[in-house]
């Protein structure tokens, strides 16, 4: 298959990394992948580094004639079989253009944010797209209901873990922990995400203050990632007096060593999540989990089995989970191994590729 991915977002978070990793995997299986990405988008450089042909686009409605012309040139020139759209702007513009060109379109919905019900959703998901894929079952069911689609047209394809990217040198991990001031007696609660307001980092910082007040002397916090809310989170940690316990490690292109340096992984997202790649990676690395049930997080963080489920915006529940787990090494080990087994059973990269190949093939039938 020759597949064109379109992306109007400019960041480089889980959504964009999923596009790139899937493209790499499908290319290894013999498919041809090209991309049309918003000009200035960080995905452009990263994808070109991996040898992909990437076309910068301006995904704005007032540029529709140009978008349509450029897409026609790419589709006709390269013999594109299928277009896969990823964000709202490109889904509309590429969807309408592809309709005019007679090229089938599929829609990949990465977030769990509810879609607008009504005529627009029926057009976007039911007319312009032949099939819709999401990253978790709950979102697939919701989109089918809200857009009035046959459930058979909505697929759940969680992002699979590439285990080869998570191999770490234990000496490197030990040195990393020491560089952040974590000695052998510390229990490190960590998170890895783009620092956005809805990721729940404020709740982790509040939990750090509660744990400190309740005698959790060995607990430290490692928050990895950059983003628009990072400065606000750093200031909040200072305000609550936990800046010496909460380390903001910033963005790391290869974060495996940081994940390995954690003893627990927490992602108390308040909204929008599908199935976070970071929580799957942490599970694969046998870390017990603390998470809300937003989107598909509850499919990975199973309460009492792979970790602790906590309510949205509940720093108290996070603190209780951290104190309980930090005091019980055997519990951490049991939950971590259960998380690892779950990811290996249900969330492998090969399984994701198998499902996406089937998804694309069904759209072409």
User: For 128-145, what is the mean pLDDT?
Assistant: 92
The pLDDT value given to residue 273: 87
Residue 118 reports pLDDT greater than 80: no
pLDDT at 321: 98
Percent of the chain exceeding pLDDT 70 equals 100
Confidence of residue 182 (pLDDT cuts 50, 70, 90): very high
115 pLDDT band (50/70/90 cuts)?
confident
> Does pLDDT of 114 surpass 80?
no
The band of 121, judged by pLDDT with boundaries at 50, 70 and 90, is confident
143, 149 contact by CB (below 8 A): yes
Distance CA 139, CA 50 (A): 31
237 vs 25, 143, 234, CA distance in Å?
A: 40, 37, 5
Is 2-160+348-364 a domain of CATH 3.40.50.2000?
Answer: yes
Whether 25 contacts 349, CB under 8 Å:
yes
Q: What is the pLDDT of residue 238?
A: 98
pLDDT in tens, 194-244: 999 999 999 999 999 999 999 999 999 999 999 999 999 999 999 999 999
List the chain domain ranges.
Answer: 2-160+348-364, 169-346
- Rounded mean pLDDT, 162-179: 95
For range 323-341, the mean pLDDT = 97
In percent, the amount of the chain with pLDDT more than 90 equals 89
Which fold does the domain 169-346 belong to in CATH? Rossmann fold (3.40.50)
Q: Quote the CA–CA distance of 259 and 282 in Å, as a whole number.
A: 6
Q: Over 90: is that where the pLDDT of 116 sits? A: no
- Which tokens sit at 234? 């750093």
pLDDT for residue 60 is more than 90? yes
d(CA 112, CA 24): 25
- Whether 169-346 and 2-160+348-364 are alike in CATH topology: the answer is yes
User: Encoding tokens for residue 120?
Assistant: 């627009």
Cβ(322)–Cβ(314) under 8 Å? no
| Average pLDDT of the chain, as a whole number | 95
CB atoms near residue 358 (< 10 Å): 12
pLDDT at 117: 74
The predicted-structure confidence for 68-89, as pLDDT tens digits, reads as follows 999 999 999 999 999 999 999 9
* Residue 306 exposed, middle or buried by CB count within 10 Å (0-12, 13-18, 19+): buried
Least confident of 6-20, 87-101, 104-118, 197-211: 104-118
Give the pTM. Answer: 0.88
Band of the pLDDT at 272, cuts 50, 70, 90? Answer: confident
- Average pLDDT, stretch 333-349? 97
At residue 317, the pLDDT reads 98
């Amino acid at each position: 298959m020759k597949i064109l991915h379109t992306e109007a977002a400019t960041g480089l978070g889980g959504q964009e990394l999923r596009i790139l990793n899937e493209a790499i995997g499908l290319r290894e299986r013999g498919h041809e992948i090209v991309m049309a990405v918003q000009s200035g988008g960080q995905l452009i450089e990263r994808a070109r580094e991996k040898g992909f042909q990437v076309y910068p686009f301006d995904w704005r409605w007032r540029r529709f004639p140009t978008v349509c012309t450029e897409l026609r040139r790419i589709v006709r020139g390269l013999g594109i079989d299928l277009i896969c759209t990823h964000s709202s702007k490109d889904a509309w513009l590429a969807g309408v253009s592809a309709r005019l060109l007679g090229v089938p379109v599929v829609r990949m919905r990465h977030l769990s944010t509810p879609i607008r019900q009504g005529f627009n959703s029926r057009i976007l998901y039911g007319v312009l797209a032949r099939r819709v894929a999401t990253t978790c079952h709950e979102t697939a069911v919701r989109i089918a209901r809200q857009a009035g689609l046959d459930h058979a047209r909505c697929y759940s394809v969680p992002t699979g873990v590439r285990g080869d990217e998570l191999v770490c040198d234990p000496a490197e991990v030990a040195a990393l922990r020491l560089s952040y001031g974590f000695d052998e007696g510390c229990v490190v609660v960590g998170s890895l995400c783009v620092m956005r307001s809805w990721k729940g980092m404020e709740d982790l910082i509040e939990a750090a203050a509660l744990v400190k007040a309740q005698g959790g002397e060995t607990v430290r916090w490692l928050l990895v990632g950059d983003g628009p809310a990072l400065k606000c989170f750093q200031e909040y940690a200072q305000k609550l007096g936990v800046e010496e316990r909460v380390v903001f490690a910033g963005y790391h292109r290869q974060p495996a060593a940081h994940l390995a340096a954690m003893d627990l992984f927490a992602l108390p997202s308040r909204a929008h999540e599908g199935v976070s790649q970071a929580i799957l990676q942490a599970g694969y690395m046998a870390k017990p989990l603390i998470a809300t049930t937003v989107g598909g997080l509850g499919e990975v963080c199973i309460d009492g089995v792979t970790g602790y489920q906590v309510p949205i915006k509940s720093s108290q529940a996070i603190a209780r989970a951290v104190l309980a787990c930090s005091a019980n090494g055997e519990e951490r080990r049991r939950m971590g191994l259960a998380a690892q087994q779950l990811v290996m059973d249900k969330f492998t990269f090969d399984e994701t590729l198998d499902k996406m190949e089937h998804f694309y093939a069904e759209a072409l039938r």
